[in-house]
Amino acid sequence: MSPRRNRPRGGESHDERPGPASGRYGGGGGTESWQGEEWSVRPVSGASAQGKRYRCPGCDQEIPSGVPHLVTWPEFGGIDDRRHWHKACWNAKDRRTTRVQRSRNAPRH
């Protein structure tokens, strides 16, 4: 048996492969409507934020360093309005309650 070829046969180049990269982490961003506002949503790989940890506003859990996630901010917001979300939490934001229950000793970020 011969080894598997990792390169495409024929004239297909890397740029001609089908499938958008925008759905993947690290691809381009976009805008979405939520709570009557336009939000900029950008996927990040998490590799550039080594040593940083963020708290997801959707589940109130920590996003460890190096974990892919989304960064969102209101269209007309400033740098202080950015929030880091798990991708699943952002997708489920309309199905969650507005009040997150925290334990007594949980930090308030």
Question: In the prediction, which pLDDT does 5 show?
Answer: 65
What are the structure tokens assigned to 21, written together?
């990269």
DSSP letter for 5, please.
Answer: P
Distance CA 53, CA 80 (A): 16
> What global pTM score does this model have?
0.61
The string of DSSP letters for 64-102 reads -TT--EEEEEETT--GGG-EEE-HHHHHTGGGS-SS---
Query: Quick check: helix, strand or coil at residue 41?
Result: strand
pLDDT per residue as tens, the chain (109 positions): 666 767 666 655 444 444 444 444 445 778 888 888 899 999 998 777 678 889 999 998 999 888 899 999 998 888 889 999 999 999 998 887 655 566 666 666 5
Query: Quick check: helix, strand or coil at residue 63?
Result: strand
